[in-house]
Amino acid sequence: MDVIQQRIEQSETHLFKAVFPNTTNHYDTLFGGTALQLMDEVSFICATRFSRQKVVTVSTDKIDFDTAIPQGTIIELIGRVDEVGRTSCVVKVEIYMENMYSDERQKAVTGYFTFVAVDDQKKPIPMLPGARN
């Protein structure tokens, strides 16, 4: 396994949350803004673990809300580096929902987040330490 693939494997990030009433909308489903905030957080952690650099979100792309996530479910967010560039990476985040009282599990949301590695002056730097400029 090459170094980049190994770093991708090691940086995969998982977060579990319960969907409580304070995170839902008037339909008693997870508020879209809350889902996006959690996805950005997971993707940030994943990109940071991958690069071990300071990173900033520069774009989101193709966020698909396939299924509403009802109050009272458990969600798992999984972030995994999907693409690697010289100064950037793209993290794919999927949200799976599961019923608390059965084995039912379903993918509900998928999105892509692009990050750029930056120095202390907020200038882009190589995503991976030791990479050539």
Residue 81, domain extent: 3-118
User: Does some domain include residue 127?
Assistant: no
Q: How many domains does the chain have?
A: 1
**Which residues have a Cβ under 8 Å from the Cβ of 5 and sit 6 or more positions away?**
none
> Token pair 């987040």 is at which residue?
113
User: Does some domain include residue 129?
Assistant: no
pLDDT category of residue 129 using cuts at 50, 70 and 90: confident
Distance CA 39, CA 45 (A): 10
**Which residues have a Cβ under 8 Å from the Cβ of 30 and sit 6 or more positions away?**
19, 23, 24, 68, 69, 70, 71, 75
Say how many C-beta atoms besides its own lie within 10 A of residue 81's C-beta: 25
Extract the tokens encoding 94. Answer: 């999927």
Q: What is the CATH number of the domain that holds 68?
A: 3.10.129.10
User: Does some domain include residue 125?
Assistant: no
User: Does some domain include residue 123?
Assistant: no
Average pLDDT, the chain: 95
Q: What is the pLDDT of residues 54-108, one digit of tens each?
A: 999 999 999 999 999 999 999 999 999 999 999 999 999 999 999 999 999 999 9
- Percentage of the chain exceeding pLDDT 70: 96
User: Does some domain include residue 21?
Assistant: yes
